[in-house]
Structure 1
Amino acid sequence: MSAGVLFAKYKGAKVLVADDEPSILELIGYILESLGLECIAANDGIEGLRKYCDHSPVIVMTDLYMPKKNGLMLAQEIQAMKPDIPIIVMTGSISENSIIFSPNTHITDVLLKPFTLTDVILAMKKALQQLEDAEKEHTAYQKNKLS
C-alpha cells in the first residue's frame, strides 16, 4: 500500500512518543501532526506507560535511554499488554542496537539520532504497514473461522 493511502487510512491515529528531550518531542509532534497523526507526548518511560494506558495509541516511539524507565522496559511492558503494537526506538548511538533486539521485544524500526524528516516518515510508514498487515491477517482469520 502506498504511503499516501496508509497515512489517509490512519488519519488521526494516536502515536505515543516518549523522550526526555523536549526538542525531540516537539519535532516529532510537529512531523506526526503534518502526517495527520496525533502525538501523545511523554517525558519518560513511567509517564509513557501511563499515557499508553490512558490514550491507547496504535504506535509507540520511544527513546532508548530515559530517566525513571528506559525505552526497552517501556516497550516490553506495552508489548506484554498488546504484543503486535509497532514500536520504533530512537537512539543516539548505533552501538546501542545490540540491546534493542532483546528476544522479549519486537522492534519495528530504529531511528538513529540525529534523524531526518524522511527517516521519521519511513519509520511511520513501516509501522502503519505493520498495522495494516495485522488487520488483514485478523480479517482473513475471522473469515476462515466463520467458513
Structure 2
Amino acid sequence: MLIQQRVSDTELNVTRQEQAELERLILEHDRIAQRFTRPRQMIYLFVRRAGNQGVGAYVLLEALKTYSPNARPATVYRALDYLLRLGLVVKIDSQSKFFARSPHSSQRLCLFMVCSGCGSVHEFIDPFCEKKIEDSVLGAGRVIDKKAIEISVLCEMCHPVAGQRTP
C-alpha cells in the first residue's frame, strides 16, 4: 500500500524491475515530504526507457497524452523539474533532451559523454575528477549548481579506431 496513484503494471507494461524501482523512489521521496505522483512516475519511466538516446519534453508530452489525453506542457515541465531537483534525471543542454541518471549517481558530479556523431549519451563517474572539480569550484568561492558536465566525444560506433590503441 505505497500510494493509490502508482502507475499500474498493465497500464504501461511496467516490468517487475521498474515497479520495484518506482516503489523504492516513492518510499524514499515520500519520507522527505515530496509526492512521487502518477504523472511524475510516468515521465520518469518514459525518460528511463529512452536510454542513452534521451527524450525531449514534447515527445514526453505526446507519450503522456496516450495515457492522459488532457495532459499539458506544464504537467511535463513540472514533472521534469521535480525529477531534476531530485537528481533522478539530467538535461543535456547540447541536445535539449532528458536522460535518466544511474540510481547510484543521482547526487554525484557526473561526466556525460555526448557523441557528436550519433547523439548517444553515457554517464561516467570518476571520483578523482569529481573531487578535483568540487575542490576547484569551492576554492574559487563558488558553489556547483548543476552536477552534470557534458563532454563532446565520438563513440566507438562513430569512430571505430577510438577503441584501438596504437603501440
TM-score by length of 2: 0.29
TM-score by length of 1: 0.32
Query: Which protein is richer in helix relative to its size?
Result: 1
Q: Which has the higher contact order (CA 8 A, sep 6+)?
A: 1
